Amino acid sequence: INTIDHLTAFKQRDNFVWLTLFDTHHFLNGLPNISIQSEMDVSLHDYNYSSKKSVHASYDPTRKKIYELELKRIDAYLKILFDYLKDNYDDDDVLVSICSDHGKGFLGESEDMLSEHRIKVPMLFKSNSTKNVEFSGFSQGVDYLPTLLNLAGIKHNDSFDGRDITKVSPKYSLSELIFNNDYYRAVIFDEMHMFSCKSKNKIKTQNDIDYDDCIYKLQRIDSMSNVDQNDDIVIKKYKNILKSH
């Protein structure tokens, strides 16, 4: 509603509005909304407080179900906003996007911080220029801004790390974990492989990473079996990607 108020107040000018949907982020540490409670099975009314962030949480089918219900509630509120945009703006004048910076640990059973349910997130765009276009390639969080700017027709100096995914088809996606006094972790996905990296020693900054002294693992996605570790060409390719990223 605050977004609609803002757009109404400043309808004669261009607007960039960023909504943060904490309803789906912090609902775990309290009672769900009453509309969610009324849809929940009795077995789901077992609320366990945890100080862990959602990305660090372990698999929990109860939280997973509550999360699904919470997403449906948010969809209902987003429909109010989308209906307002449809009634008050021409399609050529609106670009809507939905994205997230990380997934949820309680959605999958793997405890790996770079598992797919933690790093695979939505990146949706809706405008006249994206009508009936489905992107099935690889993308990263850094691709969001250049894609958004180009779809909005905003000129920029193209100095971003990311790429416009509507114009360039990335060959891989890279996710990293860089935390003070912790091990450096990275994983690269392409069409055939999952390549993972872990530093042997804890780091304080990215400058502490010694890529020549890390533990590497290369697996085939179709079977998740180990690839011949003597395949130095493939290993070197991915190490160079990490070094230059």
The larger pLDDT score, comparing residue 23 to residue 94, is at 94
Confidence band of 170 (pLDDT split at 50, 70, 90):
confident
For residue 90, CA distances in Å to 84, 98, 130, 147 come to: 11, 20, 15, 21
pLDDT at 19 > cutoff 60:
yes
Q: What average pLDDT score do residues 94-109 get?
A: 90
The C-alpha atoms of residue 153 and residue 139 are separated, in whole angstroms, by 20
pLDDT at 119 > cutoff 60:
yes
Tens of pLDDT, residue by residue over 40-77, are 776 666 666 666 667 778 888 888 888 888 888 889 99
Indicate the helix (H) or strand (E) that contains 71: helix 61-88
Q: Which of 23-27, 167-171, 220-224 has the lowest mean pLDDT?
A: 23-27
At residue 187, what is the residue type? V
Query: Residue 126, SS3?
Result: strand
pLDDT at 27 > cutoff 60:
no
The C-alpha atoms of residue 124 and residue 129 are separated, in whole angstroms, by 13
Pick from 31, 98, 28: nearest CA to 64: 28
Tens of pLDDT, residue by residue over 5-14, are 999 999 889 9
**Tokens 């489905």 belong to residue:** 134
Tens of pLDDT, residue by residue over 227-245, are 555 577 888 888 898 888 7
Give me the residues paired with residue 99 across strands: 123
Angle between helix axes 2-9 and 61-88 (nearest 10 degrees) is 20
Count of C-beta atoms within a 10 Å radius of residue 148: 18
Confidence band of 32 (pLDDT split at 50, 70, 90):
confident
**Tokens 């399609």 belong to residue:** 91
Residue environment code for 95-112, b if the CB has 16+ CB neighbours within 10 A, otherwise e: bebeeeebbbbbbbeeee
Q: Which of 28-32, 90-94, 199-203 has the lowest mean pLDDT?
A: 28-32
Tokens at residue 25, please? 């982020």
Report the percentage of the chain scoring pLDDT > 70.
87
The larger pLDDT score, comparing residue 120 to residue 158, is at 120
Q: What average pLDDT score do residues 70-93 get?
A: 92
Mean pLDDT across the chain: 84
8 A C-beta contact, residue 84 and residue 37: no
